[in-house]
Amino acid sequence: MLTRTIIAATLAAAGIAAVPAPAYAASAAYTPERVCGKGFNRVKDGHRAMKTSRGAVFGHVYLMYNKRTGKNCVAAIKTAYVGARTTTGAYLEVRGGGRSEDVQRYRYYAETGHLDGAWKCVRYSGWTRDPGNHVTAWGGRKSWGNCQG
C-alpha cells in the first residue's frame, strides 16, 4: 500500500511539473516578434528585464527593428501577474524623430506602435506594476543607442 501511495504521489507530482501553469502558457504565446508584427526582429542591445527595486523580474522589454520599413517597435511583455489587468507600459523615442507610448491596464503586454528610425538613435523602456499598483518593475535603456539603422 505504501509503495502504491509513493508511486501515485510521484506520478501526480511529475504530471503537475510537466504541465505549465495557465498564466505561463499564456505569456509564452506572446513573443516580441508576434507583438510587433511581421518583419520585426530583435536588435543588439535591445532586451532588458523589467525589475523591481528589489530585483524581482515582472517581465521583459524588447526593442525591435524592421529593416525593410526602417521602423522600430517596443514590446513590454509581462511574466508576473500574467492574465491580471495591471498597469503596463512601453515607451520608444527616436532622436530627432517621434515618441510613442502605450500605457494601460493590460493582461499580457504593451506595445508602442511603429516609429521611423532608420539610421537614428533610439531609447526605450517598459514597465509593469503589481495588481495593487504598489510595486513597479522597470527595464530599458535611458541612453541613446542602436544608431546604425
Residue with cell 523580474: 57
Beta-bridged to residue 59, according to DSSP, are 50, 78
130: which 3 cell numbers? 503589481
pTM: 0.81
* Cβ(130)–Cβ(86) below 8 Å: yes
Element (H, E) at 24: helix 22-28
pLDDT in tens, the chain (149 residues): 433 334 344 434 444 333 334 444 444 579 999 999 999 999 988 999 999 999 999 999 999 999 999 999 999 999 999 999 999 999 999 999 899 999 999 999 999 999 999 999 999 999 999 999 999 999 999 999 998 76
Would you give the distance in Å from CA 43 to the centre of its chain?
14
Residue 83 φ/ψ region, left for φ over 0, alpha for ψ in the -120 to 50 degree band, beta for the rest? left
Residue with cell 523591481: 52
